[in-house]
């Protein structure tokens, strides 16, 4: 039996080949009676590894993987905790170097969604989808629109097969057209295009929420945001509207970084006439974080706040939209605190994307009061007020803002849905015992 490290060190394409060699196209990992159990014996070392390590795995209720039948793309759906409702979170289209990255991304992000949804006060649990861009066909830049649509339609069919324990949405690498393709094959999705009756792209409301968190940090420190200088890592779906909102709020200068040289002219043109600087950098270049500015907003990928980068950070405020900004949840927050850096946890301030789409089935209206309450100051749980409360408790108690936010989120996340109870776990337990699912995971000859 292969060692878990050997399986996890495989590239996603090699892992898909390994599944095929065993006649497997669909598999699962489900927590049963306290043990993370794999659907197939040869995969159990992966489950044992993550449970023994107890780092990113946190009694996740289940995670599911498939080789999409026609495109061949490796796709996953991760469900952390569903006490409040179905596991909910976007599906990420990303380039994973190995299966350790693939699994860890799903595990971390789904747990982060549990915390985000709980802090937002919405009746959803935590879930996340991942797709390995470097498998199969349809997700690379040169892919045809038809082949890309097929990938997302297959993901929609995958969602339907999970019977609602996970509800997907838009995330990094996925756009509104992709969500339309998913919606064509399942009802278990959000961020549906506006022309189909949905809420559309969640990026703009997400940026508004991050700004409110940043405003809370400035106010708490007695600093003025007007005339300040802010650095934004990532001028993408959220970074671009955030930059616009920062200028509208009166920020004097914004310095941004991005890895996409093809978009450089368009980004600069969008802020022509403003005191704006764009730096095109390599994927591994985090130098934007080290600028001597008033605030830094990480809006690209996670894990960028770590033992290597934190000692080089000069700003006193870090508040951004990127998920899982801390590489080590149980240590990097303390490093920030020791350096006197005011850190607003991502899941505390970037909730508005999921808030924007969580109730889209109830209808869409402009200036929706259900959304605006999160951005105002009259509701105790609004982003500004909750951020201020977390900052105040951190100052009084000596705990980190990350610790306090997680404590609040953990408590809330274990509250059962007042109407449906802890339904998600019931769906998972039924699903893996059903004849329908057993037929899917049964070994069979699979074409490469």
Catalytic residue, candidates 111, 128, 399, 440: 128
- Alpha helices per DSSP H over 28-80: 44-53
Quick check: helix, strand or coil at residue 324? coil
Buried b (16+ CB within 10 A) or exposed e, 64-84: bbbbbeebbbbbbbbbbbbbb
Quick check: helix, strand or coil at residue 297? strand
Both structure tokens of 385: 């007020």
DSSP state of 225: -
β-pairing verdict for 125-132 and 91-94: parallel
Taking phi first (over 0 means left), then psi (-120 to 50 degrees means alpha), and beta for anything else, what does residue 398 get?
left
Residues 162, 185: contact at Cβ < 8 Å? no
CB atoms within 10 A of CB 205: 23
- Alpha helices per DSSP H over 89-198: 99-120, 145-161, 176-183
Query: DSSP readout, 346-399?
Result: HHHH-THHHHHHHTGGG---TT-HHHHHHHSSSSTTSHHHHHHHHHHHHHHH--
The torsion angles phi and psi of 183, rounded to 5 degrees, stand at: -60, -25
- Alpha helices per DSSP H over 9-98: 12-21, 44-53
* Spatial separation of the C-alpha atoms in residues 158 and 25, rounded to whole Å: 12
CA dihedral 198, 201, 204, 205 (to 10 degrees): 40
Both structure tokens of 187: 């009802």
Residues 130, 66: contact at Cβ < 8 Å? no
Look up 128 and say whether it is catalytic.
Answer: yes
CB atoms within 10 A of CB 308: 10
CB atoms within 10 A of CB 49: 18
Note every long-range contact of 34-42, with CB atoms under 8 Å and residues 24 or more positions apart, other chains counting. Answer: 36/60, 39/432, 39/441, 40/441, 40/443, 41/1, 42/1, 42/2
State whether the Cα torsion 429-431-435-438 is positive or negative: negative
Which residues are the active-site residues? 128
């Amino acid at each position: 039996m292969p060692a878990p490290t050997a399986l996890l060190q495989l590239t996603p394409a090699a892992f898909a080949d390994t599944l095929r060699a065993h006649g497997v196209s669909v598999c699962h990992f489900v927590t049963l009676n306290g043990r993370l159990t794999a659907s197939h014996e040869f995969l159990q070392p992966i489950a044992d590894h993550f449970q023994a390590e107890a780092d990113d795995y946190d009694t996740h209720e289940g995670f599911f993987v498939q080789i999409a039948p026609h495109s061949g793309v490796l796709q996953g759906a991760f469900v952390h905790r569903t006490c409040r409702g179905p596991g909910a979170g976007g599906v990420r289209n990303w380039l994973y170097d190995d299966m350790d990255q693939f699994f860890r991304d799903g595990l971390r992000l789904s747990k982060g969604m549990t915390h985000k949804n709980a802090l937002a006060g919405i009746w959803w649990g935590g879930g996340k989808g991942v797709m390995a861009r470097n498998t199969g066909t349809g997700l690379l830049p040169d892919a045809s629109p038809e082949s890309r649509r097929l990938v997302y339609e297959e993901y929609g069919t995958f969602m339907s097969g999970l019977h609602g324990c996970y509800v997907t949405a838009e995330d990094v690498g996925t756009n509104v057209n992709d969500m339309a393709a998913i919606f064509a094959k399942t009802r278990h999705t959000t961020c549906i295009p506006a022309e189909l009756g949905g809420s559309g792209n969640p990026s703009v409301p997400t940026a508004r929420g991050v700004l409110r968190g940043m405003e809370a940090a400035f106010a708490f420190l007695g600093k003025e945001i007007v005339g300040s200088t802010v650095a934004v890592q990532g001028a993408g779906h959220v970074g671009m509207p955030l930059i616009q909102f920062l200028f509208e709020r009166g920020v004097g200068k914004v310095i941004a970084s991005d890895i996409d040289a093809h978009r450089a002219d368009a980004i600069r043109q969008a802020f022509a006439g403003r005191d704006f600087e764009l730096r095109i950098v390599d994927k591994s270049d985090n130098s934007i974080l080290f600028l001597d500015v008033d605030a830094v907003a990480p809006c690209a990928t996670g894990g960028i706040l770590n033992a290597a980068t934190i000692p080089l950070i000069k700003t006193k405020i870090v508040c951004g939209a990127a998920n899982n900004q801390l590489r080590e949840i149980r240590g990097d927050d303390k490093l920030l605190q020791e350096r006197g850096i005011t850190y607003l946890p991502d899941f505390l301030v970037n909730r508005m994307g999921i808030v924007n789409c969580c109730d889209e089935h109830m209808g869409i209206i402009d200036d929706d009061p259900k959304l605006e309450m999160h951005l105002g100051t009259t509701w105790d749980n609004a982003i500004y007020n909750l951020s201020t409360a977390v900052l105040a408790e951190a100052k009084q108690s000596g705990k980190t803002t990350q610790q306090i936010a997680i404590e609040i989120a953990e408590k809330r996340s274990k509250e059962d849905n007042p109407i449906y109870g802890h339904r998600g776990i019931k769906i998972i337990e039924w699903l893996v015992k059903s004849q329908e699912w057993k037929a899917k995971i049964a070994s069979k000859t699979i074409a490469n």
